Structure 1
Amino acid sequence: MSQQQQDTGRRAGIVGGVGALAVAGVGIVQEALLSGVQAWVVVVVLLLALVSVGADAWVRWWPGRTRVDPGLPAPRRAAVLIDRQAGGVAGYGFLAEGRLVVTTQSIVHRALGQDGDGDATGATVVIHWESALQKDYDAEVVAWRDSGAAGIAVLCLDQAESVPKGAARLAAGALSASKQVTVEVRNAVGKVTRVSGAAVQVHSGGHTRQTWSIQSETGAGSAAGLGAGEIDGAPVVREADKRIVGYVVDTSGDDILFAPLKNNPAYDEALAAARTGTLDEIAGRRSLVGWLPAVAGVVAVLFLGYVTLGNGSLFAPPVAPCEGERIDINITVGTEKDALIETLADRFAETYRYDEVRCVRPHVSGVSSGLAKTAAAEGWATPPEDELHPGSAAPQPDLWLPTSSVWAELLVQEGHDAMLAPAWKTEMITVTSSVLGILMTEEKRAENFADGPPTWQELALAAASDDGLTLAIDDPVNSTSGMANSVAVNEAFSDVPGPQKVNTLRAAVASVPDALAGREITQMMNRMHEQPELLRQMDAIVAQEQTAFLFNCRSPLGEPPLDCANPRTDPAERLVVVQPADRTYAFDHPAILMKNAYESDGDPKEKFAAVTAFAEFLAGPAGQEEFERWGFRPASDPAGVTDRLVDVVGATAPVSVSPWPVAEKIAGYQAQWQSVRLPVRVHLTIDNSGSMTDSTSRVNVPGFVDPCDGEATDDPNYLQLAQKAALDAVERLDDGRDAVSLDAFPRPDGWQAVPMTRLDGGVRGELREAICDVDGLGGSTPLYSAIEGAERTMIAEVREEGASSSTAIVVLSDGAQQPPADLRALLKKIRGETIVPVISVAIGPGAPIDDLYAIRDATGGAVRDLRSPDAVADLDTVLVDVFGGLTGE
């Protein structure tokens, strides 16, 4: 018998053994005996299993089989090097499944020494793994699918070869913007290349994701010294969970370009063709002798399964391949669980088939429940298409997963429920649950509540008193935790006069330390995670119990991986959840069907079927297991406490879970918040020097639309970015309550500054016109005089209107003071008790970062450092966040 036949026999024996063991493992032996099957049949199956296990063990320890170092990072254990016939490395690929390796067509041509034309199916190339360099593997090109520069070739190891031990086959994952991704490979001469950064979509056509890039602050592609094609074909891995999301196709530019795996028809078709071709080839090659152990095992398994089950349900049906266009479903989910839902959506898409052949393509967008409710009330999209104003891009949902169904009730109460499905309430599914709680460190609990937990009224009074608790309360207009806290405190103060209640709430809100004030709860938790010293400044946080769970598992933003095998245990850092002594409120985490679920360009039933199937998947065993693993309570029992919650956050059952008040009453509590938070008065001043518009100020922002003239450009200048950011940021402020003044330095010819004025429709129009009239034609940068003048303006405002914790000066600048001046003289002039905080946004590499930090220290303000190109491109989001912080959102 040849070596190939022997190898084939060994592998076939393993196949039979695995099949027999699977039968025994699911209890078929017991079922068979109870069903009257003769004992000799069971004995035969078990003997085959033992023989096959022996063969498997022999192959596993066979000294001729190579090994990949198991200590290497997963991407490097998945990556293979593809050799040139003339010597050297042509590029990389990755182990996809079985013995199939995926690479690009250009790398195959390079390996064969060809000029890049023609189909290379049937050709043989040589590959090897990083730490198994002594072993070369012959691999045949078995599939070839064109997709432009990302054309795919699938290779199959020779039938006589075994994949080396320790080689990784990483699961495929979906892409979403801004997620951290990594490429890490080592070439034949020992050079390790590792680039990590945010995934950014480069080209898009509808829902088809064609090309993405890795934008790294440390540089990538040619900016990092990579030669053209140096890491082509290397796997791109999602940092959070080590799933492969794409493969490198170009390193000739400043950024690494890569093609995605998910939603890539060429990839799906190439793998499907490779599977079919490989199976046909194996069937033709294997000898009868090699098949005998497998045939015996399979026959025995089939016979036993048929006798015991009769209907063949023992064998799970294979997942059908995709046919036709995929069904796109858009899912909007609260930000406390968007990463988890994205993971579950990937799993669902792998197995769900509409009409047995159509696949789905889920698009998951994390949007806080209150913002999603407001967007739904306003028809969702504002220009540009599918952009939630301001700053968060998300398509209209077919399925909405808010934290609480109260948000949908509020939409109905307001008469803005047109986007909800007609029967949304009867078709709604609860997918998990959580409860409101008081989050604090173990040390703080012992210090403040040694005698037992407080009532809601006692908690608010303690936070409102001088030298009392510092208490973080989220915004009830946009946050579910904030809304629940507002309900709990208002209900607890039901017998207290309105003005006294409002003053108590205002004092409680003002107790938050400045370093943490005005931050959304998850962002606050993330900042305390990154800077543990801030945790000592905070006594308590009113939020969802699961927020503490994520913090203790070192993932405050709810992104995988969770480190719950080693949660926080230090009493000074570990958060525990205190349930109030009177009541709490639960969140039902519903899956709500939207009107869009009934609308489709094709079969109107297909989207509805896919959406409802996904909701049922979340409510099923697989979804429930993941929700509980991530710190949620059982869907049907919010009072129930899982062992996991007890271990990680010391969870307890609430004294009672109160029903929510009617939507009209909750809306009244939300409106009251506007009188609880202090009004914002902000002076915004924009650098108008020539450097804001010269050729060096261009930034790559694909699809950018100038907010003033409506023109699209992929490389806006600093001023265009600043204008859009300013317009979006002002949208965070409220008419009739908040006020804005606007200046520029130096002022354009004939341009008038906008004085401090309370916002309304007319003032917003005046601000828009003034912002768009800033022209970037100034020749100098009088930064110091601009800040000195802004301080004079704002100090006069404070004296006239009274002190406000949300009064601030916001400066956007890309350059140092010109002409040169004495910074010490400026700092001396602006010091004093009435000083107003200066929040500086440093734009581009020329920004005077040292000066801005000195001004921050003198005024108690802040600095947002956007000196790298990637950071400048994020100016809109940063400034919106600054203004959101001033309002307490």
Structure 2
Amino acid sequence: MTHPTDGGRSTRPPSAVGRRRRRGRRFPVAATVAALGSAALCATATVYAVEAVRGCDAPLVLDVAVAPRLAPAVAAVAGRFGRAGHEAGGRCVRAAVRAADPADVATLLSGRALPGPGTRRPDVWIPDSSLWPGRIPAGRRPAVGGPVAATPLVLVTVGASAPVTSWRPVLAADGRTRVRLPDPERDAAGMGVLVVARTLLGGSRDAGASFAALARTLRQGTLGDVRAGLTAAPGRPAVVVAPEQTVREHNRRSPAPAATAALPREGTVVLDHPFTVPRETEASPDRARAARLLERALRERSARAAFRREGFRDPGTASDALPVRALPVPADARIREIAQSWSRLALGSRMLSLIDVSGSMGAAVPGGGTRLQAVAEVSREGLALQPDDTELGQWLFATRLDGSRDWRETVPIGPLGERAGSATRRQLILSSLAALRHERGGGTGLYDTILAAYRHLIRTYRTDMVNTLLVFTDGGNDDPGGPSLDRTLRLLRAARDPVRPVQVVAIGVGPGVDTAALRRVTGVTGGGVYAARHAADIRQIFRTVTARRVCAPGC
């Protein structure tokens, strides 16, 4: 079968094709596309012209997909390569370079997408980082060669006088430092930030919760194009994580003051641009040989000089005045774990909060105040940690709180930043928390309230969010008219939908919480039970609850 980029077979003997070379001429892009056959090209891709050589009518043309930042320099090297008289299988070898988003190529090679009008498998792939091949399953993973060009991730302080030279404020997730970064789902620079976080946070007991809190903060600062973050916005200082080459290119082209980049003192991830050969290419001896010839050309001195002119460093050498301390790239399994964790944590949150207002919630807690006041303080702390696109609603429960029902909806579920009349939903919830009062003599209709709220969340499920039922209570169920524990468990199992997973998470306040029963209830849904004896416990609890999103619903 003729390869899509072969351009047809020659009637001339193959051995004569590569030798009969004369002065070349440059085809326009339209002619290049025709020469590549009928394979459709991505509408947004840049396809670089291929040198045509007289006497070479049926070349073996390698389809080379390159990360956009490096593609122009690789195209220049490929032009010289095509005129150099290389042969494979008796045919002259040429390279057709196109700029291709590494995320799209990785998805294609992983088998998660099929070749179509906008994508095709390349013969050679040069992504911007080894992190991309590391995300491809072992059975499909291409052969990853050495790096072609390098650029480290740097910290750019925008709109502030004091430069940031450490990862510490970036990873703090405390809201004091505004962090902008490329989307880790689409850009290796963004994924590199997550690798740094996992490396520097280490394997401490709190590392998972810290990573979850960081992911929630970083999600609000992701950029479709990191170059958009390099220009200061008035009154909005930020730290932008970007490849050094992007900053250099920005400074060369922008009329604005130059952005100052700093190498973090703890070390950084280096985007290494590995020469990568897919399995299909390796299976073809002629194409595999042609790929090796191109790789050799990309490592020549003239090629390295071309890459340096575009702002890249030589891989593996201190080619610039500032040497780079490169953090190690994790093993492939670890890369996939980090990527999957981000994908889960980057989803929006949708929570329905149930607050116990039974009579016992008026009991005092250590340090002053009542249990209900502690819950209100705990809820305010948790609310402050949620971005405006978090969907949140609030119900109160006791016994017969609303006619024959044990619960009452106080704030319908929806985005915190959404306006409902003259106030946002966040403000409505804060007002409701300030007005909380316990029901004197009221019991705790815990089980039927959980069942009603659980069914409500399944009916109104959002597939693009992590759906959670959050229960604040100080005891166990004491509603004689409600379901028993065993019946509650049976009904929860019957209502559970694997396609619409909803976790039930309970936060107990005070010493009388029936944790054994709550563990059985929450366990049906993959949730958990946490004790908040003091309001100060809330930050750690919310960090832990957020971290559970990585394993939901199978925690």
User: Which TM bucket (shorter chain)?
Assistant: 0.5 to 0.7
2:187 to 449, 463, 479: 479
Deviation at 1:595, TM superposition (A): 2.3
Matching residue of 2:298: 618
Deviation at 1:641, TM superposition (A): 4.2
The answer to whether the Cα contact below 8 Å between 1:473 and 1:509 also exists between their aligned partners in 2 is no
Deviation at 1:433, TM superposition (A): 1.5
Q: Does 1:550 align with 2:249?
A: yes
Matching residue of 2:381: none
The structure with the larger Rg is 1
Matching residue of 1:653: 323
Matching residue of 1:465: 174
Report 1 or 2 for greater relative contact order, CA contacts < 8 Å, sequence distance ≥ 6: 2
Deviation at 1:626, TM superposition (A): 0.7
Q: Distance in 1 between matches of 2:234 and 2:323?
A: 26
The answer to whether the Cα contact below 8 Å between 2:181 and 2:226 also exists between their aligned partners in 1 is no
Q: Does 1:433 align with 2:144?
A: no
Give SS of 2:155's match. strand
Q: Which runs of 5+ in 2 are unaligned?
A: 1-23, 351-388, 390-410, 426-555
The answer to whether the Cα contact below 8 Å between 2:416 and 2:424 also exists between their aligned partners in 1 is no
Give SS of 1:351's match. coil
State the TM-score, normalizing by the size of structure 2.
Answer: 0.53
User: 1:471 corresponds to which letter in structure 2?
Assistant: V
User: 1:477 corresponds to which letter in structure 2?
Assistant: E
RMSD over aligned Cα atoms: 4.1
The answer to whether the Cα contact below 8 Å between 2:25 and 2:51 also exists between their aligned partners in 1 is no
Q: 1:256-306, CA deviations, whole angstroms, 9 ceiling, x for partnerless residues?
A: xxxxx855xxxx6xxxxxxxxxxxxxxxxxxxxxxxxxxxxxxxxxxxxxx
Would the alpha carbon gap of residues 524 and 581 (structure 1) be closer, same or farther in structure 2, given more than 3 Å must change? closer
User: 2:151 corresponds to which letter in structure 1?
Assistant: S
Deviation at 1:830, TM superposition (A): 9.7
Q: Does 1:352 align with 2:85?
A: yes
Q: Does 1:376 align with 2:109?
A: yes
Would the alpha carbon gap of residues 802 and 507 (structure 1) be closer, same or farther in structure 2, given more than 3 Å must change? farther
Number of positions where the alignment pairs a residue of Structure 1 with one of Structure 2: 339
User: 1:588 corresponds to which letter in structure 2?
Assistant: D
Q: 1:428-462, CA deviations, whole angstroms, 9 ceiling, x for partnerless residues?
A: 23212221221234x63x3354xxx22x233222x
Deviation at 1:616, TM superposition (A): 0.9
1:506 to 213, 216, 226: 216
Q: Distance in 2 between matches of 1:802 and 1:635?
A: 49
Would the alpha carbon gap of residues 206 and 624 (structure 1) be closer, same or farther in structure 2, given more than 3 Å must change? closer
Give SS of 2:134's match. helix
Give SS of 1:504's match. helix
Q: 1:102-147, CA deviations, whole angstroms, 9 ceiling, x for partnerless residues?
A: xxxxxxxxxxxxxxxxxxxxxxxxxxxxxxxxxxxxxxxxxxxxxx
Q: 1:593-618, CA deviations, whole angstroms, 9 ceiling, x for partnerless residues?
A: 22232456xxx42x223221111111
Q: Which runs of 5+ in 1 are unaligned?
A: 1-169, 177-198, 213-239, 246-260, 269-320, 388-392, 513-517, 555-566, 644-651, 682-738, 740-798, 808-828, 836-889
Give SS of 2:415's match. coil
User: 1:653 corresponds to which letter in structure 2?
Assistant: P
Q: 1:328-359, CA deviations, whole angstroms, 9 ceiling, x for partnerless residues?
A: 21112222212322232223223333169844
1:592 to 276, 279, 282: 276
Deviation at 1:671, TM superposition (A): 1.7
Q: Distance in 1 between matches of 2:73 and 2:32?
A: 21
Q: Distance in 2 between matches of 1:586 and 1:629?
A: 18
Q: Distance in 2 between matches of 1:396 and 1:474?
A: 25
Over the matched positions of the two proteins, sequence identity in percent amounts to 17
Deviation at 1:465, TM superposition (A): 3.2
2:333 to 664, 684, 687: 664
The answer to whether the Cα contact below 8 Å between 1:435 and 1:584 also exists between their aligned partners in 2 is yes
Matching residue of 1:519: 223
Deviation at 1:678, TM superposition (A): 4.1
Describe how 1:835-854 pairs up with structure 2 within 5 A.
none
Deviation at 1:547, TM superposition (A): 1.5
Q: Distance in 2 between matches of 1:332 and 1:205?
A: 16
Matching residue of 2:130: 405
Q: Distance in 2 between matches of 1:349 and 1:536?
A: 52
Would the alpha carbon gap of residues 378 and 581 (structure 1) be closer, same or farther in structure 2, given more than 3 Å must change? same
State the TM-score, normalizing by the size of structure 1.
Answer: 0.34
Would the alpha carbon gap of residues 804 and 404 (structure 1) be closer, same or farther in structure 2, given more than 3 Å must change? farther
Would the alpha carbon gap of residues 373 and 634 (structure 1) be closer, same or farther in structure 2, given more than 3 Å must change? same
Describe how 1:280-319 pairs up with structure 2 within 5 A.
none
The answer to whether the Cα contact below 8 Å between 1:457 and 1:493 also exists between their aligned partners in 2 is no
Give SS of 1:553's match. helix
The answer to whether the Cα contact below 8 Å between 1:398 and 1:597 also exists between their aligned partners in 2 is yes
Deviation at 1:658, TM superposition (A): 2.1
User: 1:662 corresponds to which letter in structure 2?
Assistant: A
User: 2:291 corresponds to which letter in structure 1?
Assistant: V
User: 2:105 corresponds to which letter in structure 1?
Assistant: A
User: 2:273 corresponds to which letter in structure 1?
Assistant: H
Moved more, 394-403 or 491-500: 491-500
Would the alpha carbon gap of residues 324 and 549 (structure 1) be closer, same or farther in structure 2, given more than 3 Å must change? same
Q: 1:733-768, CA deviations, whole angstroms, 9 ceiling, x for partnerless residues?
A: xxxxxx9xxxxxxxxxxxxxxxxxxxxxxxxxxxxx
Deviation at 1:401, TM superposition (A): 0.7
Matching residue of 1:608: 288
Give SS of 1:622's match. helix
